[in-house]
Structure 1
């Protein structure tokens, strides 16, 4: 089946632009042709994703969010990357598998979903490693459902509870209401986390990421309580991230133009533990470094 028809009157993401992407670009800034900036083994995901060999990560250009602090801003909002065909993407998947990748990791792929589905369909008899969907959490439940037979591991962010914060920093006032529905769908359709025989590499499941923002500790705490109260126990992992670095337009927002403090992060971590949300990962404060952003040098897409 060819999924290109989905680019017409595009409703792939919650922006619901309804534009014909064969003719023009949507809110994401993307046409109907894939643009990617890097396709290589990546070693800086959670340990159960990167493992010892690396995650076979494809970084797509464009984004459906406009986060003012985006560490990948050169490709998410500034147009970096190279156009490739669906066929080339399929070849990239197989090359990453051949290189020993534990999984295929699709980073910010929703804007190219029809092309990604075409590529996955063309290699479905040859691709034997899990597919990871690495996204900002701002997804339509219908899009999540469409990926039921394609995605093994969901790696969404849960960025904000406050609509005021999500509007200010990501131009998405409806972020939490949208993300909560999508994440519930991810957890429901994916089921309990599953690992390989060594118990170290995830094969199926949901890892819910949250990056603590400067001055937004209380918002983080509200998100933890939502996870505890609304998500089924034991059905997801949590990844609490301390890596916030003031990138891109952070300087225009004085309250977030700094690193988070140890106090802010530790208060969130302590509450997660108190709530029993201890199945997952935490970061050392040393993770807040610019070198954790990979070079978007077109490796693997040329």
Structure 2
């Protein structure tokens, strides 16, 4: 498998020779996957009735201090496999009845993923491909995936450089994310569904409301409202839980209040962003995080 000797797959562009050492994302030269299973906790048009065929990859270019998947994103949990095995995983998920193949934080492994998808398609994979991303991607990566990805499931985490620097070590987050989100929408066009209401093509933009960050959440919603009407589906999430380093960081050491989330939702509605998804406050539970026990790998 060919991995760049000077890696620039993500906006960090750390130039690591991954045959010798891991990049900032934690990925070296051997594909690592932590879980592959039917997942029922995505948006209804992704999970459907049978679940999304979700593959969780190890490593991440963002360093979110509150990451609920920190064991795989920042601590290296995962199993080493090759592209041929990944292709078989895709086909096994299809056989189990998955509505789609959902690639969670896959960019650091893009050469393997592209090869595995090509192999799987040659062996009968027909499911839509969902790219589940924190929104911190290069324009080149998004363009490369134009004929590969059917659905972008992308975060818009922050507008504030101060917040994105403090919480995700990425002061350029919004500058990067706002550009690539527009490209994602350009590539897929408006959301398109099948007869069962499952999303076949399009973009879902997620925003996780954080405690003490109401002003920034409203700025994120202002950005979403500036995008062409009907060009994406908004998804507002209340499931924030103080994981990882956030448990010792104020104001992240608490869940968001009902009042805070209601303010976010009301602001979205006022902006006309009501044709999408909004979580119940009861979603802020640790059990919504899947166990990373190497299932399906």
* TM-score of the pair, normalised by structure 1: 0.96
**Any conservation in 2 of the 1:22–1:31 contact (CA below 8 Å)?**
yes
CA distance in 2, matches of 1:59, 1:90: 14
Q: How far did 1:142 drift?
A: 0.7
Paired residue for 2:91? 94
Paired residue for 1:117? 114
CA distance in 2, matches of 1:78, 1:24: 16
**Any conservation in 1 of the 2:62–2:169 contact (CA below 8 Å)?**
yes
3-state SS in 2 of match to 1:111: helix
- Residue 211, structure 1, aligned to residue 212, structure 2: no
Q: How far did 1:174 drift?
A: 0.3
Q: How far did 1:153 drift?
A: 0.3
* TM-score of the pair, normalised by structure 2: 0.98
Q: Deviations over 1:162-204 (max 9, x none)?
A: 0000000100000000001111110111111011113x11111
CA distance in 1, matches of 2:273, 2:192: 18
**Any conservation in 2 of the 1:187–1:235 contact (CA below 8 Å)?**
yes
**Any conservation in 2 of the 1:6–1:12 contact (CA below 8 Å)?**
no
3-state SS in 2 of match to 1:218: helix
CA distance in 1, matches of 2:156, 2:133: 10
- Residue 135, structure 1, aligned to residue 133, structure 2: yes
CA distance in 2, matches of 1:299, 1:80: 12
Of 1, 4, 7, the residue aligned with 1:7 is 4
Of 235, 241, 253, the residue aligned with 1:239 is 235
Of 136, 148, 151, the residue aligned with 1:150 is 148
CA distance in 2, matches of 1:53, 1:5: 35
Paired residue for 2:255? 259
CA distance in 2, matches of 1:90, 1:98: 13
Of 171, 176, 179, the residue aligned with 1:178 is 176
Q: How far did 1:121 drift?
A: 1.2
CA distance in 2, matches of 1:192, 1:63: 28
CA distance in 2, matches of 1:251, 1:102: 35
CA distance in 2, matches of 1:127, 1:279: 31
Q: Deviations over 1:265-285 (max 9, x none)?
A: 111111111111111100000
Q: Could you list the runs of 4 or more consecutive aligned residues of structure 1 that deviate by over 6 angstroms after TM superposition?
A: none
- Residue 164, structure 1, aligned to residue 162, structure 2: yes
Of 33, 45, 50, the residue aligned with 1:48 is 45
Q: How far did 1:252 drift?
A: 2.8
Structure 2: stretches of 5+ with no match in the other structure: none
Q: How far did 1:291 drift?
A: 0.2
Q: Deviations over 1:18-63 (max 9, x none)?
A: 1221221100011121101100000000000000000000000110
Q: How far did 1:6 drift?
A: 4.6
Structure 1: stretches of 5+ with no match in the other structure: none
**Any conservation in 2 of the 1:7–1:114 contact (CA below 8 Å)?**
no
CA distance in 1, matches of 2:10, 2:151: 19
Paired residue for 1:32? 29
Moved more, 156-165 or 248-257: 248-257
CA distance in 1, matches of 2:165, 2:238: 22
